[in-house]
Structure 1
Amino acid sequence: MTGDPLADLSAQGVSLWLDDLSRQRLHSGNLKELIDTQHIVGVTTNPSIFQAALKDGASYQKQLDELAARGASVDDTVREVTTDDVRDACDLFTSIFEKSGHVDGRVSIEVDPRLAHDTQGTIDQALELAKIVDRPNVLIKIPATVAGLPAITKVLAEGVSVNVTLIFSLDRYKAVMEAYIEGLEQAKEAGHNIAEIHSVASFFVSRVDSEIDKRLQAINSPEARALEGEAAIANARLAFQAYEETFAGERWEALAAAGANKQRPLWASTGVKDPKYDDTRYVVELVAPGTVNTAPEKTIEAVADHGVIRGNTIDGTYGQASSVFSSLEALGIDLDDVFAVLETEGVQKFEQAWGELLESVQAELDKHKK
């Protein structure tokens, strides 16, 4: 180990992406500095991130003024503003994209969260966003809802790279990997170069502990207390086991022979929600080659300051991770309900953030109509 935890993380084969983007970060040189000094090799965005970025409206004022003068609708305004930021970020990451063989240097933009249960609407907007951003290193984010799964396959089949988001359960993750493989098979059949199609599967971490800990605290037995803070990391480790099992065997080998890339597991929601836990745990406990960790800047700073990278912390943990889930079920924790609640809340949070974003942008546009 080098004494630089972020360098150690990269050396272990983990790609560190920043879970944030704003025009202020782009124009001030802050994002470039993070790339140069903090081993950042990609960016993820979501509706909450854009909503927060546009709250600090100064960086966007000139463009909002121009769009208002043009009579642009609120939806068109938000689309133009967000895709401009993502395109500029893609350009900033071009050299990393090229150096990494098109694996990293990726920037994600999400379809409108109001389309989470609309398959065709998701497909149409995903393809439109890919066209508008028009950069080879963009990833289009599609939620792993039941309606999202066929959309993922179809968008991949069109040769568009996808970040699948809001994955909480192992069963849904397995369905996501199946959707990816089907998409590659269809893309290959359609004559696309599947070596140029990339994907990550965003498996959410900290929110699992938040929901399960709440239920364990309600039980309030010594057995329940002993399991607090165990579920999220165990869940992610079992997801990695499923990834290893899926990207093996004849079906996958046939695609790999045609140049296909594995869909990398991406650990999302890695900022610690409960202050009683170590603020680096969802990074340092999920180290394995070929993974991505997308983290807020606060978490990245914590890892840089006092994170201890101990090598691969997933290999050899599957038995222990399985026993955590057996123990949770023995206590009566309804895991299916946990994951259903988390997905519903995840979609609602993004819908709410999107609604607030539209409201604030509409207010800006209205100022110019008076």
Structure 2
Amino acid sequence: MSRLIDLHVVHGQSPWLDNMRRDWLVDGQMQDWIDRGVRGMTSNPTIFQKAIAGGEAYDDQFADLVGSGTSVIDAYWEMVVDDIEAALGLLRPVHDASGGEDGFVSVEVSPLLARDTDGTLEAARGLNERIARPNLYVKIPGTAEGLPAIRQMITEGRSVNVTLLFSVERYREVMEAYLSGLEANDGDLSAVSSVASFFVSRVDGEADKRLDAVGTPEAAALKGKVAVANAQRAYQAYLETFSGPRWEALAARGARVQRPLWASTSTKNPAYPDTLYVDTLIGPDTVNTMPEGTLADFDDHGTLARTVDADPAAAEDVLEALAGVGVELADITRVLEDQGVASFSASFDDLLGALEQKAATFR
């Protein structure tokens, strides 16, 4: 049995693939990952930018689309939907066998809508209705503007993956949107599902720069520890939220917990262990979405143990020490949210620009 299978069977965490490649969907490599224990797939605008602009796999379809008069933006979504539907088909057996817990594939609304509540809701509904598969997650950024759209999608019984979460405070707001959406939903709550994508490694990237600027031994001792402590605090918030009378009333109606999904879990700093952001965040009712390199590393030599809530006090000590050396976690997470929105928007713009240039050669 692989470590990826053990991760789910023994420890209750679902490993997902954080990538989307058309060649993998058709040549059997995605099915190989599923056989090794992968239980879901996530995508984002940067992933599609690399996939579509980085090779020739989409050229024939794109040429046919623009040649028939389809606009570049509509051609983009046509290609994205085709990939998502292929992935949904591969993962549907996982979804069915898990009773609807896993087997999901995520597709994100246009990142240009991250600060537009009404636009986000319209786009999310459109993707949900266009694809119409039970194992689809529509990804909505967890910005302040995204919160009302998240709540309304849940009220309407549409499953969502809330993305770009960095702070525990915003994560609490997302969980509130989920719960209040369920409470406003008078339908079958067992058919509604959600994950909350809490980003990890990027926090260390920003925190480490600020700790280097502080320059003291106390600051240096915190490098590589802040992201995990932040995520472990988030898991404590999850445990608090999905317990007690309010949650029990929803669970009695068939509601599912909104699982924390650890995102951005590849190790960016080569000085840190390559499975750092997997080994330290293992626990029940969680997801870890990893690029293929991190999946392979964990399957080869990852540590299997329940770690996400092994020592909550130690996580709080790290975050208190961070404040003690003058580094504000709230400012780190604010900057990262802004950067995340800007980065995904830039990838989307770059992709559309590249497609416009390519379209000109086909007309």
**Global fold match (TM > 0.5):** yes
Aligned-residue CA RMSD (Å): 1.0
8 Å CA contact 1:84–1:133 kept in 2: the answer is: no
Distance of aligned partners of 1:28 and 1:56 in 2 relative to their CA distance in 1, 3 Å threshold: farther
* Counterpart position of 2:278: 283
What secondary structure sits across from 1:187 in the alignment? coil
Distance 2:55 2:325 in 1: 49
Greater Cα shift, 171-180 or 72-81 = 72-81
TM-score (norm 2): 0.98
Quote how far apart the aligned CAs of 1:55 are: 2.1
8 Å CA contact 1:138–1:161 kept in 2: the answer is: yes
* Counterpart position of 1:143: 141
Distance 1:138 1:356 in 2: 26
Of 314, 338, 346 in structure 2, the residue corresponding to residue 344 of structure 1 is 338
TM-score (norm 1): 0.96
What secondary structure sits across from 1:40 in the alignment? coil
Please give the per-residue CA displacement for 1:80-101, whole angstroms capped at 9, x wherever unaligned. Answer: 1101110110011111000000
* Counterpart position of 1:246: 241
Is 1:101–2:99 an aligned residue pair? Answer: yes
Distance 1:83 1:316 in 2: 40
Quote how far apart the aligned CAs of 1:8 are: 2.4
Q: List structure 1 runs of 4+ shifted beyond 4 angstroms.
A: none
Greater Cα shift, 105-114 or 353-362 = 353-362
* Counterpart position of 2:221: 226
Is 1:121–2:116 an aligned residue pair? Answer: no
Of 213, 216, 221 in structure 1, the residue corresponding to residue 211 of structure 2 is 216
Q: Identity of aligned pairs, percent?
A: 47
- Letter paired with 1:342: L
> 1:1-370, aligned counterparts within 5 Å?
4-10=2-8, 11-36=10-35, 38-188=36-186, 192-309=187-304, 311-369=305-363
Quote how far apart the aligned CAs of 1:5 are: 2.4
Q: Which runs of 5+ in 2 are unaligned?
A: none
- Letter paired with 2:43: T
Please give the per-residue CA displacement for 1:276-308, whole angstroms capped at 9, x wherever unaligned. Answer: 000001001101011000000010111112212
Please give the per-residue CA displacement for 1:173-222, whole angstroms capped at 9, x wherever unaligned. Answer: 0000000111111222xxx2111100000000000000001100111111
What secondary structure sits across from 2:257 in the alignment? coil
Quote how far apart the aligned CAs of 1:56 are: 3.5
Quote how far apart the aligned CAs of 1:315 are: 2.5
8 Å CA contact 1:87–1:134 kept in 2: the answer is: no
Please give the per-residue CA displacement for 1:99-124, whole angstroms capped at 9, x wherever unaligned. Answer: 00011000000010000000000000
Quote how far apart the aligned CAs of 1:346 are: 0.5
What secondary structure sits across from 2:213 in the alignment? helix
8 Å CA contact 1:209–1:231 kept in 2: the answer is: yes
What secondary structure sits across from 1:41 in the alignment? coil
What secondary structure sits across from 2:185 in the alignment? helix
8 Å CA contact 2:199–2:265 kept in 1: the answer is: yes
- Letter paired with 1:72: T
